[in-house]
Amino acid sequence: MTATSALNVLLLGGCRPRQSARTLGQKQGRVNFEPCGPVNSANTIGEMLQTLAILRGEITIPPELRALCRIPPTMAPVPPETGFSHLDAALVELSTPIEYVFRGFALNHNRVRTIIHTPIRNVGPEAAKLLGKWIYALREGKDEARERTSAELVNYVPENVANRELVRAVVREMRSNRSDVVSGLERICDILGCPVGVILYFFRYMPDGRPVDWPPGFVNEVVEGARRLNLPTFDPTPTLLEFGVEKAFREDQEFHYVHPLLPIMGEQMIRFAESICKRGAADRSPRANEPIPA
């Protein structure tokens, strides 16, 4: 990076940081949050490792799965001769440890809800109830219950739903597992070879401003993982509280920031990225084998 060029910061995360960065746009001239071109929204370690594998040209997502994996039409591998060497830093936001896997590919949680859950739920109360049982069994790793409910649930996939046979296949075959935060973050750092910062994600906030994570304890797991790897963290809570919790989230999409908050949060992300670049790459070795406290 020269004295006048923008920092190249790869953003791996969900809607909140991505919308915040997009609202500021490239015109701010301090940070380029798309140094590898458009990349997919990612909520989990598995999705992020899949993103990096796509950018490195190691895997190709089948056309019929690109929507479920939330892959932008213009997303493409980076030039192999440069790889990620042009990156100044990366920001990572993990919103869940639960991985959705279908035929070896990591599916995006939001797309699974939109493409799989919603059409079935809209069939009626009976379908919605069975869907809830299937989601619970899937998330909790209860294979017998998942197989039993999926065998029934495929019959509720509407006839007119797009790619119906694919939707039915996902209901039958999708599995879940829980990612390991420390090994996953360490793998991301090793692949990128640049300083990495972690943005904390809270599921929602109580009216009095208390943050709530889900599953319970997940944010602490992320914080401890970042500590063990000497990765800096950014907690958006103070900025959100200063803005006002009661007006921070959209009424139509309760997990998304309102538009006036986006540039404010985007500025905080830029400052975080700048601080990471000044800090430099962390030495992760001293704490790599420490056990995570129970």
Alpha-helical segments (H) within the chain: 15-24, 45-55, 109-112, 118-121, 125-140, 143-153, 164-173, 181-192, 218-228, 237-243, 261-279
The pLDDT confidence band at residue 28, using thresholds 50, 70 and 90, is confident
Residues paired with residue 19 on neighbouring β-strands, in sequence order: none
Whether pLDDT at 110 is above 70: yes
- Mind listing the pLDDT tens digit for each residue in 142-195? 999 999 999 999 999 999 999 999 999 999 999 999 999 999 999 999 999 999
pLDDT tier at 27, thresholds 50, 70, 90: low
Q: Quick one: 217 and 273 in the same domain?
A: yes
Domain identity same for 163 and 21? no
| Domain-embedded: residue 2 | no
Q: Are residues 196 and 162 in the same domain?
A: no
Kindly give, in sequence order, each residue whose CB lies less than 8 Å from that of residue 95, ignoring residues fewer than 6 positions away: 13, 14, 43, 44, 109, 201, 203
For the entire predicted model, the pTM comes to 0.90
Q: Which of 177, 194, 220 is the last residue of a domain?
A: 177
Secondary structure of the chain: what % helix, strand, coil (to 5)? 45, 15, 40
203 and 253 part of one domain: yes
- Residue 142 neighbours by CB distance under 10 Å: 14
- E strand or H helix at 198: strand 196-199
Q: Cα separation of 148 and 52, whole Å?
A: 35
The answer as to whether 240 is a domain residue is: yes
End residue of a domain, out of 133, 156, 177: 177
**Same domain, yes or no, for 117 and 164?**
yes
Final residue of a structural domain among 140, 155, 177: 177
The amino acid at residue 179 is: S
Number of domains in the chain: 2
Assess whether 108 and 254 both reside in one domain. Answer: no
In this structure, what are the phi and psi dihedrals at residue 208, rounded to the nearest 5 degrees?
-85, 5
Q: Which two tokens stand for residue 220?
A: 């602490």
Cα 193 from Cα 200, distance rounded (Å): 21
Q: Are residues 93 and 189 in the same domain?
A: yes
> Residue 1: inside a domain, yes or no?
no
Domain encompassing residue 57: 7-97+179-287
- The CATH number of the domain holding residue 34 is 3.40.50.1110
Report how far apart, in Å, the C-alpha atoms of 54 and of each of 58, 85, 105, 111, 176 are: 6, 16, 11, 18, 21
Q: Classify residue 42: in a domain, yes or no.
A: yes
Domain membership flag for residue 197: yes
Same domain, 26 and 93: yes
pLDDT value of residue 255: 83
